[in-house]
Amino acid sequence: MLPLTLWIMLAKLFGPMILAVYAFERTGIRASKLEITLVALATSYVAGSIFMLVDDITEYFLARKMNATPVKRYYTWWPGSIDFVYACTTKLRGTPAAPLDHALVTTLGKTNGIIRFRAMGRDVYYTDNTTAIGAILAKSFDHYTKGEDFKRAFGDFLGNGIFSSDQSDNWWAWHRKSTKPFFAKSRLSDFTTFESHTKHLLSAIDHAPSDEIDIQDLFGRFTLDAGVEFLFGYNLDSMGEAYTPTSHAQSSSFLRAFNEAQEASSTRVLQGDTFLLTEAFHNPMKAPMAVIRPLLDRVVDAALARRKSADLSAEEAKIATEHATLLDYLLDITEDKTLIRSELLNILLAARDTTASLLTSVCYELANHPEALKRLREEIAELPAAGVELSYEQITPLRYLRAVLNETLRLYPSVPLNVRFARHDNVIEHEGQRLFIRGGTRFNYSTWRMQRCPELWGDDAEEWKPERWLDERIKVISKFPHAFVPFSAGPRLCIGQNYAYQESSYCLIRLLQKYQGISLTRQQRFMSCITLQWRAPNDADMITGNFPAVDDRHLYVRLTKAKSAQQ
């Protein structure tokens, strides 16, 4: 059943057209089909303008009641801001839309970094301002939720897990309380899983059929395998099929299904509730979830069976709990398979997506900055070689490695554009102004633009410079605490951020201990301001860093072995 908001949107868009055509028939006025069509379109345009005017007047008086100012509206040429929506969608796919993009940025600069526009009959707010983003994520946290649109978009994939649930119900607090202890420092200090899967990664590189490595695909497999073992205690081994994939292989099928479900859900978020129309005759989530759910159900069933058949003493139970996976932790709380499956998928998505994107982006930048690669290898030179598991205490002091990771996260956040919904009318205070935000509206915020803002990061904001995290430029974080939010902020701060840092650090250390050089094998260039994409000039292939490798999306590199590794 279509939600009420979508019915209202359709009525506003097509109602005037239908009335215009009906009027021609009732009055008996003779006109060609072209004339009727033009009149219907004109009627829709005028009606849309009237709806917008009424909304603006209503918003003006609502803002006055709260001693605030309405956010300036960004007007576009086409009804419903279809041209703007198209520009954003094509931008995501890597097609430039410079004129609208420039107009948007110019408008943001004149409106304290918040604008309002109408998309498909509904008002939407958009910001790249650090104060506004800080208010949404932290200061005014209770005023903003994920919203029903987001839940519908990701519901088939993530269910009612931690990322799709709201603080307005009890589920979000339950999910966070249940999973947070699992990511405590004591658990993240055990690098056995990272060591094991890094060995598999390096082995896959060694056995590649050529010296041209699809590093993004390998990082995607590495993070998925490590995440599945860390969270489920299950050996997926998608890395083992990196160069010998078969259509019936379980790991390859799961990897492909996971990517498809993630991309389809992300596309739904961009489309809003209109995806309910575009998917009326084809649900792209059906096929991938038919692969994902049975595998997870088998894993959960096996864990339940082990627990029921085990007859452990109190001491044995204590030891088992200390070495438990997230799945075991959840089974201590509930045996609801649907709930457990949703939570596992939510955490796996974050564990895999962020780290795969980060590692790929780091390799891209190191390939373009050999001096940074040299400095990073010098920092890790004294660490134990492969075969001796690294410790938390050995990795933590590596300041330049952390600077490389932070600078990459600054330029290429894994979630460059996010969304919240205002629960009710509220005000965002900025530079002495009180800006009115209307309840029930969608609020898009761009960490991508904010983390590249010259006013915050200097004239070299678009340049990759890890050194900025080691000198006085780092003071921007103390002055603007929400200028850098790759893992969100406030009560919804990512509970797995330390996992991402530790996994990325461990993988890069082992990779650079064995390889001293990284070079791009194709002329790939950065393309998009919304997602991380590269395209070879004469090649149709493209990759998206924020939604890891899917089918024809790749980052090709050549790795040069270190002399010590050749001995």
Average pLDDT of the chain is 83
- Annotated binding-site residue numbers: 494
Residues 375 and 274 in one domain: yes
Between 247 and 387, residue with greater pLDDT: 387
Q: Which residue type occupies 305?
A: A
Residue with tokens 């890890």: 466
Residues 393 and 535 in one domain: yes
Tell me which of 20-29, 205-214, 548-557 is least confident: 548-557
What is the pLDDT at residue 560?
95
Mean pLDDT for 120-126 is 82
What is the pLDDT at residue 534?
38
Q: Looking at the domain assignment, is residue 84 inside a domain?
A: yes
Tell me which of 177-191, 281-295, 458-472 is least confident: 177-191
* Helices and strands in the chain, H and E counts: 24, 14
Structural domain of residue 336, as residue ranges?
67-310+318-541
Does the pLDDT of residue 531 top 60, yes or no? no
Helix (H) or strand (E) holding 434: strand 433-437
Residues 81 and 42 in one domain: no
User: pLDDT-derived band of residue 1, with 50, 70 and 90 as boundaries?
Assistant: low
User: pLDDT-derived band of residue 543, with 50, 70 and 90 as boundaries?
Assistant: very low
Between 12 and 428, residue with greater pLDDT: 428
Residues 358 and 394 in one domain: yes
User: 42, 66, 90 — which closes off a domain?
Assistant: 66
> Given phi > 0 = left and psi -120 to 50 = alpha, else beta, which region is 387?
left
Residues 61 and 154 in one domain: no
Q: Looking at the domain assignment, is residue 150 inside a domain?
A: yes
Residues 339 and 430 in one domain: yes
Residues 165 and 243 in one domain: yes
> Could you read off the pLDDT of 443-461 as tens digits, one per residue?
989 898 899 999 999 999 9
What is the C-alpha to C-alpha distance for residues 120 and 12, in angstroms, rounded to an integer?
Answer: 9
What lies within 8 Å, CB to CB, of 46 at 6+ separation is 16
> Could you read off the pLDDT of 81-95 as tens digits, one per residue?
666 666 655 554 444
Residues 229 and 354 in one domain: yes
User: 32, 66, 100 — which closes off a domain?
Assistant: 66
- Kindly state the tokens that stand for 146: 């994920």
> Could you read off the pLDDT of 384-430 as tens digits, one per residue?
987 788 999 999 999 999 999 999 999 999 888 899 999 999 999 88
- In the three-class reduction of DSSP (H, G, I as helix; E, B as strand; rest coil), residue 310 is classed as coil
- Annotated binding-site residue numbers for heme: 494
- Residues found in the chain: 567
> Could you read off the pLDDT of 325-368 as tens digits, one per residue?
889 888 888 888 888 999 999 999 888 888 999 999 999 999 99
Does the pLDDT of residue 502 top 70, yes or no? yes
Indicate which CATH number applies to the domain containing 293: 1.10.630.10
What is the pLDDT at residue 538?
37
Give the chain's domain count. 2
Give me the percent of the chain exceeding a pLDDT of 70.
83
